[in-house]
Structure 1
Amino acid sequence: MFLEKWYGQEGLQQIRKKLATPPLHTSLRCNTLKTNTQALINKLNLQFEDHISNTGNKFESVPSLPDGIILKTNTQALINKLNLQFEDHISNTGNKFESVPSLPDGIILKTNKTPPPAPCYPGVVVDKCCGESVLRGAHVFIKGILGAANHLKLGDKVSVWADLQGVTLRGEAVNQINPQFVFVGNGITKAHRSLLITQSPGIGVEMTESLYTNPSLNNIFPDELFLQTIPSMLVGHIVGPQPGETILDMCAAPGGKTSHISALSNNACTIVATEKKQGKLSPFKKTLERLGVTCVTAFSYDANKLLADKVDLVGEMRKGVEPPFPAEYFDCILLDPPCSGLGNRPRLRDDMTLKNLLGFSEYQKRLFEVAFSLLKRGGRLVYSTCTINPLENEEIVSWALQKYSKELVLDSVPQFKDFAQPGLSNSSLDEASKAKVLRFDPSSTLDDIGFFIAKFQ
């Protein structure tokens, strides 16, 4: 296997086991534009009081992340509110919202392990993505349902199964469970079968017994918190926006990192956010509006074409900021490019081919070249991915340091070293550079997604 040469057989096996399961915590970021971390933690622990009582989980702050909360901003206010909002959940499970050390706007929902439920009810079959979401604490939305047992009524108890192969036809009667299906929990139907097999909006099954005790946070304090992994939260802090700076987020949807950078600057910087896919722009803008972000101008634009061939003097006189941009325009750039996503959890099935895997790094290099050209000399460039593929991580950094050896240096972020590991020992980075990058191994004690961050100056 391709990744075995980097991680070894045993190391890769450990990672694969972790990737098949969700982290045993839920992390979220306090939106410090609206509240503070401790208040949100209190609200969450109150909201999930029953969950906390039953499981021992609870919401807490994350050390070194002042806006981080984990179910184990000023972020603490949001944490208090979340604990209040989830009072029943906290009471039942023992989970609660807490802040994230070293992440002032990070919040994590710490989850206790409980005996898994048994599949003992009529079946509802969902698609792979829906099944993965259920493992992270979501309810089953009707759009994710492929098939269901006959004669189901509102309020029936059901067992939910994920069809990883996609063999179930939408609307199919499921009276025998395929042995390849994966059980993800039990729940109660919120509609009759005739509605469950449509693609209507809304919840089809409310999960009552899950393999993992993460509660659903859908629509909970939507303007005060944002569900976000700890590595993703670190990106905003590493960007470190300063008042008055002009910052580019090159591949910005769905908006978690963009809104975080805005909150860290208290809307005091100018952020240009671009997203190639037009369909992602509208929900992106709605997310920013919901979170109180006012310093972002968003465009549907191909990041590969952001660099202007020459300075458009007429364009320079236009009101506002629009792409393409002249060289050396931005004080700081975040490049979180499309990647193979091999670090995301849980992953119940992966159809990534070697050809596709190898293609990502070439595309990332092209985007990096554009980013470098748009960055002011002496500016900051933060590169991040949610993959464990070294060709998209350490080897991109190695390539960049060789290509721009006279213009870019790799900067260290010592305040966040406790969260991550150094670069892979068998990568082409030298020892000093390995020590400066942040590599997040899913099988590490952090128990989070696979991720990678590098900061250039």
Structure 2
Amino acid sequence: MADNTCKLAEGTRFSEELFSYLSKFFGFSKTSNIIGALVHPPSFYSIRVNTLKASVEEVYRSLCEKNIETVFHPILDDVLLIKVKGPFEIEVQGKIVVADKKAAESVYVGADLYAPGVISAKGVARSDFVTIVDEKGFPVANGIAMQSEVDILNQRKGLAVKVLRSRYQSASIRCLDEYASGKIYDQNIPAILTSIILEPTPHDVIVDMCAAPGGKTTHLAQLTSNKAKIYAFDNSKSKISKLIENINRLGVRNVSVIFSDSRYLHVDYPSLKADKVLLDPPCSALGVRPKLFEYKSVRDIIACAQYQMQFFKSAVEILKKGGILVYSTCTITPDENEIIVKYALENFPLELDKQILYLGTQGLNIIKGSNLLQRFYPDEHDTPGYFIAKFVKV
């Protein structure tokens, strides 16, 4: 088994330590399937139609007129699905441009490569045909250099490579007129579902504790027709800029954006009392797709879990009795999911509650109430890996 784990970890470019850790909870076969799916994008990208600005039917017609293969989500009535095509073979031709992990994963599914994401472009001249590879040398796309090596590495701005062929191809959602005009937001299905599970109403005071870049915040505004009072907190100034940009683009008018560390909201804002609290804290992001490689350690996962625990005191203190707290992550690790739920139940006046919609599967049976939790597996649900828990304060 150890030899198999080592070989599979090497083949998928995940660390052996991480593979072994996940196998303890999911078993060898399931872990293999999960990691195998994480390497690829889903079959469809989901977009949330911003009904503050447009109807789903209007956006659907508009995308179809652009010959973008689009279908309605069978259950979520404000969601459209855009087909992802591939995989396609990428031949290593021309000069090599090395992209960092984040940039390579975007290029892998059809995005152009911008200068900040370039690690090296040895000998590349403007107009050269190039092959883009990730940090490990895996080819993700072919394209035409729009800048020379000198300009890319010295100026660090602008389009570096125009992609002609990538491993996977889909519509460049953020280049669409519908995106620029605020009619759509690219968001995965479990993330969309998270805001629905919070059950927001126009009369609520809602706190989004880790709000940037604003997908869930703006969805909550949409679900409440711009009428709920929403406080969006984040402690990253760069991310808050993106949050404000999305709020403005989507026509959201009922959100107060506040730069603050949400672990201390109960101290910094003692009069703040919320009907609903959304806690989607920073995590190991092991469920994000596509993931070309991943070398996080178990120590990294435990550090994330310990950080996540620090938000609960504040969340519970600002939540009214009888109020709803939804906790979510874009990772698959039990330490950041079920074990966090166990910690919350043992240390705070919280009870698990049934979620109003289940599109995934129940949580791991390692804590009481696992049937009330919701998990998404990339190999099983064709989504990112994801976790959702709903609490009520008692």
Q: Distance in 2 between matches of 1:114 and 1:163?
A: 20
Alpha-carbon contact 2:90-2:139 (below 8 Å) kept: no
Gap regions ≥5 residues in structure 2: 1-19
Q: Which residue of 2 aligns with 1:125?
A: 98
Which secondary structure state, in structure 2, belongs to the residue aligned with residue 305 of structure 1? helix
Identify which of structures 1 and 2 has the higher relative contact order when contacts are C-alpha pairs closer than 8 Å and 6+ apart: 2
Cα deviation 1:178-203 (Å, max 9, x = unaligned): xxx01001122333444333344322
Pair 1:263 & 2:188 matched: no
List 4+ stretches of structure 1 deviating above 6 A: none
Structure 2 Cα separation of the partners of residues 153 and 392 of structure 1: 46
Deviates most, 31-40 or 212-221: 212-221
Q: How does 1:62-81 map to 2 (within 5 A)?
A: 62-71=73-82
Check 1:147–1:369 CA distance in 2 against 1; reply closer, same or farther (3 A cut): same
Partner Cα distance (2:331, 2:124) in 1: 43
1:43 corresponds to 2:62 = yes
The answer to whether 1:9 aligns with 2:28 is: yes
Q: String of CA shifts for 1:1-57, please: whole Å, max 9, x gaps.
A: 22221011111111111222222221111111111112112222222x2xx5xxxxx
Write the letter of the residue equivalent to 1:346. Answer: P
- Counterpart of 2:9? none
Residue 383 (structure 2) pairs with residue 442 (structure 1): no
Residues 123 and 158 in structure 1, CA contact (< 8 A), matched pair in contact too: yes
Q: Is the 8 A contact 2:22 2:31 kept in 1?
A: yes
Write the letter of the residue equivalent to 2:374: L
Deviations 1:141-189 (A, max 9, x none): 12112222525333x432111114xxxxxxxxxxxxxxxx010011223
CA shift for structure 1 position 400:
2.1
- Hey, what does 2:130 align to over in structure 1? 158
Cα distance in 1, alignment partners of residues 51 and 237 from structure 2? 29
Q: Does 1:59 align with 2:31?
A: no
Instruction: Report deviation, 1:122.
Output: 2.6
Q: How does 1:361-440 map to 2 (within 5 A)?
A: 361-404=305-348, 407-415=349-357, 417=358, 419-425=359-365, 427=366, 429-430=367-368, 433-440=369-376
Measured in 2, the distance between the counterparts of 1:434 and 1:202 equals 48
Give the Cα separation in 1 of the matches to 2:283 and 2:151: 36
User: How far apart are the structure 1 equivalents of 2:126 and 2:27?
Assistant: 50
Question: What does residue 94 of structure 1 align with?
Answer: none
Assess if the C-alpha contact under 8 Å between 2:115 and 2:157 holds in 1.
yes
* Offset at residue 114 of structure 1 (A): 5.1
Name the SS of the counterpart of 1:21 in structure 2: coil
Q: Distance in 1 between matches of 2:38 and 2:154?
A: 31
Between the two proteins, what is the percent identity of the paired residues?
A: 34
Paired with 2:320 and 2:236, the residues of 1 have a C-alpha distance of: 27
**2:115 maps to 1:142:** yes
- What corresponds to 1:290 in structure 2? 249
Return the structure number with greater helix share.
2
Q: Does residue 188 in structure 1 map to residue 144 in structure 2? A: yes
Counterpart Cα distance in 2 of 1:281 and 1:437: 30
Partner of 1:330: 274
Unaligned runs of 5+ in 1: 53-57, 72-109, 165-180, 309-322
Contact 1:24 1:212 in 2 (8 A): no
Instruction: Please report the TM-score for the alignment, with normalisation by the length of structure 1.
Output: 0.77
Task: Give the Cα–Cα distance (whole angstroms) in 1 for the partners of residues 157 and 88 of structure 2.
Answer: 32
In structure 1, C-alpha distance between the alignment counterparts of 2:133 and 2:300, rounded to whole Å: 29
| Corresponding residue pairs, total | 370
Match of 2:291 among 342, 347, 350: 347
- Residue equivalent to 2:260: 301
Residue 357, structure 1, aligned to residue 316, structure 2:
no
**Shift in Å at residue 270 of structure 1?**
0.5
Output the CA distance in 1 between the equivalents of 2:378 and 2:155: 34
Q: Is the 8 A contact 2:93 2:129 kept in 1?
A: no
2:234 to 275, 279, 286: 275
Once the two structures are TM-superposed, the CA of residue 272 in structure 1 deviates from its matched residue by: 0.6
> Could you tell me whether the CA contact under 8 Å between 1:138 and 1:215 is conserved in 2?
no
